[in-house]
Amino acid sequence: MFSITELRILEELKRLDAERVTLTELRKQRHELFGYYLQWIERRENRLLRKYVKKYNKWPEFNSGYDLQPNHMVQ
């Protein structure tokens, strides 16, 4: 059973993942903003992932187009 907080974190991670996909369109149109937005998304994802792992002592499970788990972390 998921808690409300856990669901909120997972939903925010899914939203950021979707933003990362739409960011490729921005890259084509306004390449000077691409790096800024990519860094912002990565910082937000990292913050949420650390919060999730600290609180639930496990890696979040959802389908992502990207591998969010760093190589040095063990499940």
Quick: pLDDT tens for 2-56. 677 888 888 998 888 888 878 877 777 887 788 888 898 899 999 999 998 999 8
71: in domain: no
Domain count across the chain: 1
24: in domain: yes
Which pLDDT does position 50 carry in this prediction? 92
In the chain, the N- to C-terminal Cα span, in Å, equals: 19
Which pLDDT does position 68 carry in this prediction? 54
Residue 28 is part of which domain span? 4-56
64: in domain: no
pTM for the whole structure: 0.64
61: in domain: no
Which pLDDT does position 70 carry in this prediction? 52
Q: How confident is the model at residue 64 (pLDDT cuts 50, 70, 90)?
A: low
17: in domain: yes
Which pLDDT does position 43 carry in this prediction? 93
